[in-house]
Chains A and B, each alone.
Chain A
Amino acid sequence: MAIVAEFLIAALILVGAFFLLVGSFALAKLPDMMRRLHGPTKSTTLGIGSILIASMIFAVAVRGSLSLHELLITLFIFLTAPVTAFMISKAHILRDKRERANLPPTGTTNGWATLDAPTPTEEPARAESR
């Protein structure tokens, strides 16, 4: 049993390390800012995820105690990673003139929130739909 757990933990750590490495590698390799953002938001979630699962299995199988901190770490990563990516891309859109020219139209009467203030007529429609 202990040997199975050890193999499982080792495999999970290796998988985790691989995906973390790929995520960091993507950050260095991809050619522009927006593409680079894809590396750290995705590959690292699975990487950290499997290392945390390994840590939980280690706590249960080897130390014989239940550890739930890993679940919290997962939760916080899931909450913070998208917000960080969102803020970075907003800052990028605001500062990069060339990227701004590439943006597709919103399909509504308003522009993108980073660049345009909402037109006041739209506000009541939004309030009433809630």
Chain B
Amino acid sequence: MRKIVPHPILTLFITFVWLLLANDVSAGHIVLGLALGILIPLLTSAYWPDRPRIRAPLAIVEYGLVVLWDIIVSNVMVARLVLFRRGDSLKSTFVTVPLDITSPEAITALAGTITMTPGTVSCDLSADGRALLVHCLNSDDPAADVAQIKTRYEARLKRIFG
């Protein structure tokens, strides 16, 4: 079973995305979606050998809502900075976020979240995958920003991915 379907969740997800793309739930499209859902993970399994372990699937919903809210807030914040501040008066700085999470999927999710939320863009990962380089657009207290990333996002991801 593992040989044919290396990522069962990915298979279901690709089928679902295909049905959304087709905008049509009929037997033909379900079969076509399932075929894609089985073929694509098979062809790409060399690049994704491990299966991510998800400990708390329901926590993903909470995480999604928190991130969605933060995206709205961050858009307004960044828009205000851009419109009402002179570019060179922004205190931009790089900060290092040490990571407690180790699974590649969790780190990817964290890096993506950081880029989408308040005034921060993730820029690079340390070569051993233990720290993330983050650029803050305007930061009065870099240590507080790092602490916020760790408590708000990383702690939740740690619960999800274990």
Q: Do A and B share a complex?
A: yes
CB of A64 closer than 8 Å to a CB of B: no
The reply to whether B82 and A111 form a contact with Cβ atoms under 8 Å apart is: no
> In the complex, which residues of chain B have a beta carbon less than 8 angstroms from the beta carbon of A129?
102
| Interface size class of chain B, counting residues whose CB lies under 8 Å from the partner chain | 35 or more
Closest to B123 in A: A89
Closest to A122 in B: B128
The reply to whether A107 and B124 form a contact with Cβ atoms under 8 Å apart is: no
Give the number of residues in A that approach B within 8 Å (Cβ atoms): 58
Interface residues of A in 2-35 (CB under 8 A from B): 18-19, 22, 25-26, 29-32, 34-35
> In the complex, which residues of chain A have a beta carbon less than 8 angstroms from the beta carbon of B137?
35, 38
Closest to A36 in B: B87
Interface residues of A in 77-118 (CB under 8 A from B): 78-79, 81-83, 85-86, 89-90, 93, 102-114, 116-118
CB of A61 closer than 8 Å to a CB of B: no
Q: How far is the CA of A122 from the CA of B131 in the complex (A)?
A: 13
A35, A47, A119: the one contacting B90 at CB < 8 Å is A35
Interface hit among B38-46, B67-75, B148-156: B67-75
The A interface, classified by DSSP as helix, strand, loop or mixed, is: helix
The reply to whether B82 and A39 form a contact with Cβ atoms under 8 Å apart is: yes
The reply to whether B72 and A46 form a contact with Cβ atoms under 8 Å apart is: yes
Interface hit among B3-11, B28-36, B55-63, B108-116: B108-116
Q: How far is the CA of A31 from the CA of B111 in the complex (A)?
A: 24
Q: How far is the CA of A106 from the CA of B32 in the complex (A)?
A: 47
Residue contacts A-B, CB under 8 angstroms, 11 given = A25-B82, A35-B137, A39-B82, A72-B20, A85-B115, A86-B123, A93-B124, A104-B133, A118-B128, A119-B128, A126-B128
Q: Which 3 A-B pairs have the closest CB atoms?
A: A46-B75, A82-B115, A89-B123
Interface residues of A (CB under 8 A from B): 18-19, 22, 25-26, 29-32, 34-35, 37-39, 41-43, 45-47, 49, 67-69, 71-72, 75, 78-79, 81-83, 85-86, 89-90, 93, 102-114, 116-119, 122, 126, 129-130
Q: Given A18-B79, A38-B78, A106-B131, 20 more contacts at CB 8 Å?
A: A19-B75, A22-B82, A22-B83, A25-B82, A37-B121, A42-B74, A46-B71, A46-B75, A82-B115, A82-B116, A85-B115, A89-B124, A102-B94, A105-B96, A106-B130, A108-B131, A111-B127, A113-B126, A126-B128, A130-B102
